[in-house]
Amino acid sequence: MMTTLNFHHLRYFMEVARQGNLTRAAQTLAVSQSALSTQIQTLEARLGHPLFERVGRRLVLTEAGRIALDHAQAIFDMGDDLLTTLRVGSGRRHVLRVGALATLSRNFQIDFLRPCLGRPDLEVVLTSGSLIELTGLLRRLDLDVVLCNGAPGTGHADGLIAHRLARQPISLFGAPALDCRAKTPAEALRTHGVILPTGASNIRAEFDALCIRLDIVPNVVAEVDDMAMLRLMAREAIGLAPLPAIVVRDELDAGSLSEIVRLPGIEETFYALTFQRQFQSPVAEDLIAAASRWPDLAETRPVAR
């Protein structure tokens, strides 16, 4: 019975993972295919988990295989450190793979990641995209966590776990040059144009519903699908913008935007999505636990006057 990991087993395993094919990996390693297959089976027996599954003609990593590959690469990286620098205590670097909705507030993303930023033992890989793209990567175990501002709808949530992190009210924000002194949403919307997120946004749907309740047809001066651009256009005094305060935190601190009036009944909720899997990222779990303790932000910032 093997009591310790064999570096040859790990090297062979990494090559099969890279090639996705026993024959090609055996040719690269200059060993017979049967010998390579035996080495992989021995490693699987030692670890107690299958490392590959066959998909068509390819060998694809299982969840345990992906974790084993991360560890194997770290082991060899650490060996390279020893040979090239003799640096004591270089340690093994973990990788945290985070997906974030392309339109999600950058300030929120930084707040979520802040507890782990700068750790010498951790590399953070951040990927942006649509919710469908990111949840697909999450299901394939290419991401550890996805940050978004909406839970997946019915039919798209299979295997996904939505961790609610925080909610924030939506207000109308405007540049000082607009000199908006409105006391109510109706007054603000009747006297100033608005810059709106596109119809795919949760904020837009709730904003449209509010306008129906108020019997107002807003003067829409621009529609954008990116919160960063919406924020920049608001700074240019093109119109008022409905946003959560976290998106314009820097502008509020600098005085380039101010909160005009809060929009009743409209909130943005932030989520972290994970996938049901046997091996969760402990770093992602720690970050979710920390963010879940954030206070709801409904009453944290009074409207500036």
Q: Is the pLDDT of residue 49 over 50?
A: yes
Give pLDDT tens digits for 80-101: 555 544 444 445 567 899 999 8
pLDDT at 274: 93
Q: Lowest-pLDDT range, 174-188, 207-221, 229-243, 269-283?
A: 269-283
Q: Is the pLDDT of residue 114 over 90?
A: yes
Cβ–Cβ under 8 Å, residues 40 and 46: no
Q: What is the mean pLDDT of residues 250-264?
A: 93
Q: What is the mean pLDDT of residues 119-129?
A: 89
Q: What is the mean pLDDT of residues 11-27?
A: 87
Sign of the Cα torsion 191, 181, 105, 161 reads: negative
Higher-confidence position of 92 and 160 = 160
Number of H helices, E strands in the chain: 11, 10
Q: Is the pLDDT of residue 184 over 50?
A: yes
Tokens 């650490």 -> residue: 78
Cβ–Cβ under 8 Å, residues 215 and 209: no
Higher-confidence position of 277 and 49 = 49
Burial class (CB in 10 A: 0-12, 13-18, 19+), 183: exposed
Euclidean distance between CA atoms 52 and 151, whole angstroms: 32
pLDDT at 4: 66
**Radius of gyration of the chain from Cα atoms?**
25
End-to-end C-alpha distance for the chain, whole angstroms = 74
Secondary-structure breakdown of the chain: helix, strand, coil percentages, each rounded to the nearest 5: 45, 25, 30
pLDDT at 78: 67
Q: Is the pLDDT of residue 248 over 70?
A: yes
Higher-confidence position of 40 and 81 = 40
pLDDT at 254: 92
Euclidean distance between CA atoms 263 and 94, whole angstroms: 43
Euclidean distance between CA atoms 19 and 60, whole angstroms: 10
Chain CA centroid to CA 140, Å: 15
Task: Single out the residue of 153, 160, 144, 9 nearest to residue 72, CA to CA.
Answer: 9
* Count of Cβ atoms closer than 10 Å to residue 150 Cβ: 14
Euclidean distance between CA atoms 212 and 166, whole angstroms: 27
Q: Lowest-pLDDT range, 67-71, 83-87, 122-126?
A: 83-87
Q: Is the pLDDT of residue 296 over 70?
A: no
Going by the DSSP 8-state scheme, the letter that residue 121 receives in this structure is T
Under the banding of pLDDT at 50, 70 and 90, the label for residue 22 is confident
Cβ–Cβ under 8 Å, residues 294 and 287: no
Task: Single out the residue of 162, 110, 164 nearest to residue 134, CA to CA.
Answer: 162
Q: Is the pLDDT of residue 259 over 50?
A: yes
Q: Lowest-pLDDT range, 103-107, 149-153, 183-187, 259-263?
A: 149-153
Give pLDDT tens digits for 210-243: 999 999 999 999 998 877 888 899 999 999 999 9
Q: Which domains does the chain have, with CATH numbers?
A: 7-85 (1.10.10.10), 94-163+270-292 (3.40.190.10), 167-268 (3.40.190.290)
* Count of Cβ atoms closer than 10 Å to residue 29 Cβ: 17
Under the banding of pLDDT at 50, 70 and 90, the label for residue 196 is very high
The residues with which 259 forms a beta bridge, in sequence order, are: 173
Cβ–Cβ under 8 Å, residues 169 and 182: no
Under the banding of pLDDT at 50, 70 and 90, the label for residue 2 is very low
Please report, for residues 20, 45, 59, 125, the alpha-carbon distance to residue 31 in angstroms, rounded to integers and kept in the order given.
16, 20, 18, 35
The model carries a pTM of: 0.65
